[in-house]
A and B are shown apart, each in its own frame.
Chain A
Amino acid sequence: MFEDDAIPVEKIDRNIFLTTVDWIYNWGRQYSMWPAMFGLACCAIEMIGASTARYDIARFGMEFYRASPRHADLMIVAGTVTHKMAPQVKRIWDQMPEPKYCLAMGSCAISGGIFKSYAVLQGVDEIVPVDVYVPGCPPRPEALFDGIRKIHQMVRAQSIKTVRWYGKEKKEA
């Protein structure tokens, strides 16, 4: 045993802090939440604007828009979901591993918006479970950040003991 391996007792009082597993787990998830990289309509332009230097989504640790849904934690449905696109959106959601969250951005993703039409899905919550709705047409990047902070609050409120993706049977998240 080397001398360096000894615990430096005199440094303990300045270098150890206590926390909970939940806190550190949620802190890590909250600040590395990667959105899936896809956009469906004009809301996607605002989403892109949110990731540029002016609004800087990287402040929340979210600057990686993952092109593969298997890397993504958050699906931002930015834009009109047409019936032709809906199976693909559902497929992206199904490919994302748990834990995953969904944010419906803009009127169209929430309710179909102005498109009361045969071609448009009247709200993406018909096919995927939506956690946060961000209204607007399109929402400003600030509004998107507000929605993202709401998702962060959801993440903070979860406990590793009860989240559904670690239990064998389905539990309440």
Chain B
Amino acid sequence: MNPGPRPISTNRYGAPHSRRAVNFICRAPQAQSVCLTGDFNAWDPRSHPMKQMPDKVWMLTLELKHGHHRYAFIVDGQLTLDPLAQGIARNDQGERVSLVPVS
């Protein structure tokens, strides 16, 4: 099983317009700052800062609507793919980004 970001609820057959909480986890122990960017925040590199946990991983829980979302981590200002993501696509700038399904 790919351990990328997953909805906290695993009900695949939920209402199509429902929202689900998704845990995003980034392993960058030496980073000074990590933000989450994606379709859901119009690729704003600063609006969703992640919090470093005691074990040094960066985490953010976000409610996302049903469907597929593109995202990436901004690690110290650099766009970074999630190595544990379930998929890869390109954003509208042509950069490779990660994919997460929410159902």
A binds B: no
